[in-house]
């Protein structure tokens, strides 16, 4: 099953920006993700079309799986 951590920020223009990380650890905590997002904002790690990331809106882990019923 594929898992992706999606971290959602607001940029300087007020637009949402999602940063996705493939294959996150299974035991991530809210505190760890919040701390990582705060560090990304504090150190200006990413720049979006609407400017710097200025706030964190939330995060989620998205799981996707495929189950073959017939054939390849």
Compute the C-alpha angle 7/33/17, nearest 5°.
15
- pLDDT recorded at residue 47: 87
Give pLDDT tens digits for 57-68.
999 999 998 888
In contact, 1 and 58? CB cutoff 8 Å: no
> Looking at the predicted structure, is the pLDDT value of residue 72 above 90?
no
* Predicted TM-score of the model (pTM): 0.86
In contact, 59 and 37? CB cutoff 8 Å: yes
DSSP secondary structure, 13-30, as one string? TS-EEEEEEES--TT--H
- Residue 52 in tokens: 């710097």
State the average pLDDT over residues 10-20: 97
């Amino acid at each position: 099953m594929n898992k992706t951590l999606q971290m959602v920020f607001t940029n300087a223009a007020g637009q949402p920006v999602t940063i996705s990380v493939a294959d996150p650890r299974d035991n991530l905590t809210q505190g760890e993700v919040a701390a990582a997002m705060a560090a990304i904002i504090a150190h200006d790690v990413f720049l979006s079309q609407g400017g710097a990331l200025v706030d964190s809106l939330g995060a989620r882990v998205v799981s996707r799986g495929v189950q073959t019923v017939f054939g390849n």
